[in-house]
Amino acid sequence: MTDYSEIFAQRAHQYHAAMQRYPQARDGEFLALLEDLPAGARDLLDVPSGGGYLNAYLDATRALTACDFSTGFAGSSIPLGQPEALPFADAAFDAVLSLTGLHHVSLERQAAFFAECHRLLRPSGHLLIGEVLAGSPVAAFLNDFVHRHNSQGHVGVFFDVEFPPRLAAAGFEVTAMTVRHYPWCFEDEAAMVFYCRNMFGIDRGSDAEILAGLRDYLDYRIEGDGRIALPWQLVFFQAVKR
């Protein structure tokens, strides 16, 4: 299965289970996205937002609106949208942020989404995207190990140097493409296995198989205090509305 809305209609509850039990595991990832946020950007849109967890990393001077493509996440506080139809007025935002949801959206629908982002942004507004880098260990883990051990499968459309021209076609100037490395952090191996099982819907693998997959694909390490660092990386794009 590749469609974001269908995937998370079925397993958003597992995503929440992972995030709510270990809310700080992905601190480095959320902070890496926000590294590119201009100081003057006040009105922000997070889409697709998952459970809206990005908000915890912003200070009170920012106003974050969450929106999602799936009924699994949308609700009273998070409106439902579609990549080609987001429920907001023209020029409503200073920045649109998107973290690791677009690889479950087809290329055609991504193009429509970028057009919507262009519509929603104010003049010189920013589009910030953090996504899985094609050819990376993370990409292999997701499209190989997770695909084989998740009954929904995992067929991500990952991002590389071919991506910026597609943003340019939607009316953006791409100002940076940066690969950032950081760990996901856990108190022990059991916590890491629980988190990854639920985050990625791994329902066809034992705990031992998941642990072996994380070792073989991502080479996690045990720190001196016994805590776990799971190496992770994404590619981050900065683009400005022309």
Q: What is the pTM of this model?
A: 0.96
Does residue 226 fall inside a structural domain? no
Q: State yes or no: pLDDT of 1 exceeds 90.
A: no
Bridge partners of 240, per DSSP, are 126, 173
- The predicted pLDDT at position 76 comes to 87
Cite the beta strand spans of the chain per DSSP E: 43-46, 63-66, 93-99, 121-131, 172-186, 221-222, 228-241
What domain range includes position 159? 4-134+154-181+233-241
Q: State yes or no: pLDDT of 189 exceeds 90.
A: yes
Confidence of residue 213 (pLDDT cuts 50, 70, 90): very high
Does residue 106 fall inside a structural domain? yes
Does residue 174 fall inside a structural domain? yes
Bond from prior residue into 183 cis (ω within 30 degrees of 0):
no
* Comparison of pLDDT for 136 and 2, the residue scoring more: 136
Digit-coded pLDDT (tens) for 13-28: 999 999 999 999 999 9
Does residue 188 fall inside a structural domain? no
Does residue 199 fall inside a structural domain? no
Share of the chain above pLDDT 90, in %: 99
Main-chain dihedrals φ then ψ at residue 88, nearest 5 degrees? -140, 160
Number of Cβ atoms within 10 Å of the Cβ of 162: 8
Q: Token pair 């609700």 is at which residue?
A: 75
Q: Which of 149, 169, 158 is closest to 212 using CA atoms?
A: 149
The CATH code of the domain that includes 54 is 3.40.50.150
Determine the average pLDDT of the residues in 5-13.
96
- The predicted pLDDT at position 121 comes to 98
Does residue 144 fall inside a structural domain? no
Q: Into how many domains does the chain fold? A: 1
Q: Token pair 């799936």 is at which residue?
A: 70
Does residue 141 fall inside a structural domain? no
Does residue 84 fall inside a structural domain? yes
- The predicted pLDDT at position 136 comes to 98
Q: State yes or no: pLDDT of 62 exceeds 70.
A: yes
Which amino acid is located at 234 in the chain? L
Main-chain dihedrals φ then ψ at residue 189, nearest 5 degrees? -65, -35
- The predicted pLDDT at position 170 comes to 97
pLDDT, mean over the chain: 97
Q: State yes or no: pLDDT of 205 exceeds 90.
A: yes
Digit-coded pLDDT (tens) for 115-127: 999 999 999 999 9
Number of Cβ atoms within 10 Å of the Cβ of 187: 13
